[in-house]
Every structure is written in structure tokens, then in C-alpha cells.
Structure 1
């Protein structure tokens, strides 16, 4: 198995976190998928944060307790908890388990979730708030005494009793695809996660990239035979009128820029020879595009993203452990081509 990290490539999966998904077996399923990611040599998996999901930090603790090296990539929305509360939780997990968590800072969410919490800030203002929030968290995690007076946060002589050991400090990302998210990521000195356009468009020199690194959230269905990969893809993600209507409703209430941007990509549902596939997103099965095809076809698409500077991949929720291994095979082929 190739050491992807040695090539500078980080791969996460995604854990299902919705409370509505078979509530009685939620813990089992969460730990099961985390274990699949561990076994396949992924760094870890993304754990969502929204009002319909298990608390992301509690889910991260359960995943850590049930695995050996898994690193949760925890989505953090500033309105959910104070910067001190987040920093203390990250520190607590480090000291209780001698394990790290990574952080994906998100500024928005579903409009209904923001409304429930009384968050009326504009899109760009949420990224300004996120920047203040993340700066405070970073200083606390590294052991500093923080006094901060900003537009959104005021902290006076705050310090963690037990800062996070240096080797357990989190890898941090800012989520988004707008100019405001790019500005926030660069102000914080961290990489950016977004949902990708078609590979050739996404890596265009006309699209400005975060100078501290970029990553993408994408699904992968790859098999030795391209026809088999597409058979699985169409079975899992049928293009139905009901799905199209649900997506239409979602877009009408979107508060993030990436959803309309992705919906506007001008490619048909079925484009022969094209690995990039939007049906899972367009018909409301999931929130990211997919790469579908043979190992070599998917590897070619991944290689294009790598050539454009992408070094982090957050893969969609797997249905079975083999999904992670098949995706890894395609990614390894792309990385091998990059290293030559």
C-alpha cells in the first residue's frame, strides 16, 4: 500500500452523522465506517455539523474510542460553541486518548439551522466571524494566553490549563468556494476545502487558489471495469423527478455560494467519456459530485486535480469497505503518475 502522506496527499472518508439514519444503530455505523477508513489507510473521515446530526465532537470521541489511529475531521460552526469551549474539547480529547482531531471550520449551513439559532449575519460577515473565532482557537490550542477584542469576540486572559501537545495539534481547513472563504483561509494560514468543478475547469489558472493549499470533497466509484463502475453508480444514484424537486427546494433556500455554483455546471447527466458526474448532487442523493469509471479513468481525473494543486481529498460516505479500497487504488495510480 502506497504511503500517500509521504507524497503530500491526505485522504479522508466521510462518516454518516444524521440522527434520522436508523437511530438505534447509529453508534455502530459510525464506528464501523471509521474502522473502514482506518483499515484502508485513510487519515480519517469528515464528521458533519448541522442541526439534524449527532454533535460532531461527541461523534468524534466515539469514533476515536472505537479505532486505533483514525483522525476525525470535525466540522465546526462558530455559532454552535464558543472558541474556548472548542479549544478545551480538542485538548481534552488529546489528553484523554493521546489522539488528535482535525478541524474543518464552516461558516454557514442550512438556512433553517441558522434561523433556529438567530444567526442573521451576511455570507461575508460569517467568514469575518469565522476568522476571529479560528484565530482565538489556534492561540488557545498552542498554549497562549489570549486577549482578543474583535467585532464578534472579546476574550480576556484566556488560557487552557492543558494545551494540546505539539504532535497532536489538528490539521485545520476552512470550508468554502467564495472569495470570502479564500480570504479567510489565507488570513488564517490554512488550506481550503471546497466542492470541485469539472477537473479541467477547477484547475484553470484563471481560478485563484488558496496559497496554503486546497482540497476537495468528492465521491469516487472506481472499478477495474468502467462499465461495472457505472452500473454501480446508476444503481446507487438514480435520476428521479422527486430528487430533482428536492434539489430545487434546497437551492431556493441556499445560503452558501457553492450549491448554486455546482448546480450551474453545464454538463449533461450522462456524458460519455467524462468521469465527472453530477447526478448524485443534482438529484439530492448527496452534496458532492462524483468521479466514476475504471481505475485509470478516475486516476486521470484525480491527476488533473493534483496538477492543479489539490492535495486533500474528502471522499463521500462509503456504502461498503471495498468502496474505500477501490477509490484508494485510483488515487494511488494518480499519485504514482505525479511522482514520476
Structure 2
């Protein structure tokens, strides 16, 4: 019996090693959303290399009404990078001595995981690589965090059938949200948080509402202000949500659900009242239905950090599917 058992075990090991796929047993990754582990020598961290790292991955998030970093950083020297630390979901490693370059790796020590390795023979080479590849590095980490946020959201999904029936839209959002208002082609979805609320608006406007070109941002601001006046009242009579005119919103172009989309980030305000906060607005060009489908997330949470709130709503919005 012992001989048979040994033979069976050997056969199992042999089969596992020769099936052409990576059969490593890999641990689950860990970490808070938008927390980044930086593995770098203490001397480099305290010098100009550390300053460049902070300038790149801890730069202020655009369009927040208070300064917050893109990622919260935890630094660790390579000598103690072992065990539990290696299972961080996002890791930036700085390696001095090798050829200059940036390598992005996935699931190196845990799964899911993104590891970015920046190398150079000198401090200046490392700084140059960080600066010239900053967009690529940030995009890699944001992609990983977006997937993680969406994975957590899927654990407790709200029934979005009303959205499907009224607007032909499927959207993943948690049961912590509730539909506060439904008015024909307009939805106002809210989530209470200890310091205020997180809100999502979903509506449609005709395609001609937003004209491509230099006037797009003007059209988007006019659109959202008109929606705010009708649907989002303020705390006193005659008050309603508008776009803060002291700050020009950030406008970029992207794709959602395979469709051309305007992404607008800015600060909302309430006319005739002292309330404000950040918003992120996506106007999706839906030619098949002769409309822009607009989904916006905004936060009201005075005097507290709002980066992760906005990022959660970005993850929700980017799950959109037009049926």
C-alpha cells in the first residue's frame, strides 16, 4: 500500500509540473484601497529619489476641494521586504545598480497584484525613469485599484432593474445605496456616510446637447447646472446645485462600454448656500439611442478626505453597460 501511495503522489507531482501552466500556490493580496507600498532603500527615500517618488505617486488628486495624494504611501527598505509585506496589492520597487528602465509585473508575490520595478545605475537615472513614465506607472496602479474596488462592490449588489427598465442601463452599485428619486429619465441614488452623503445622478440628454470641440466643457457645465436646478435642491428655498465657477473643471476623453465618453472632474457648489464638494461626470455618447447617457458621482463630506469616496463612485460608474 505504501508503494502504491508513493507512486500516486509522484505521478501527481509530475503531472502538475508538466501541464504547461503556472501551478504556484499564491496567496491572496491585501491592503486598503489606494495604499501603495514603496520598497526603497532608506537613504534613497530620504533623498531626492524619495522626493521624486512622492511627486509622482503622491501628487495631489485633481479637482478635490482639499489637497489629497493620489496614493497613501508606506515605505519599506528591501532588507525587510518579506512575508506578509510581499502580499500588498500594489508595490513600487526601486532597484539601484541595474540598467535604467520600468517594468510592470502582475501577481508576482500574491494575487491580484501589480508590481512596478523602477531601476537605474544612478539616482538621476531612477528619477528620470520615474518622471518620464509617471503616467504609465499611475495608470497601472489605478487599474489594479479600480478592479479591486469593483470586486468589493460586487459582494453586495443593489437591484438595478429600475435603471434597466427606464434607461436601458445596467450598473453595479452596493446595497448601501438607495434610489432617492426617480423621475422619468432621471435617477438620484444616495449613500449615507458618517460625515455626509455620496450621490450618483443618472440621466439622458439629446446628442446635440454637447457639441464636440472647444465648447464641450461649456455645454457640459450648462447641462449639469440645468439638471441641478431641476432635480437637486439645496437646504434653503431657491438654492440648488451648480458648478463652482471659480475653478475650471478638468475635461478629458475616454471610453466607457466601448463608447466615446467625456470625463469631467470639478467642484460643485450650491447657489445661495454654503455647500460644496468634488464631482466626477461621465457623458457617454450613445448614438444608437440618439443621446448622451450621463452618470455623475459627487460627495458632500465637509472637512474630511474624499479621495476614496470619489474613487468608489468612479468604480461604480465604470461598470456601466448600455443594454
With the shorter chain as reference, the TM-score category is under 0.3
Q: Identify the structure with the greater helix proportion.
A: 1
Q: Which has the higher contact order (CA 8 A, sep 6+)?
A: 1
TM-score by length of 2: 0.26
Normalising to structure 1: TM-score of the pair? 0.25
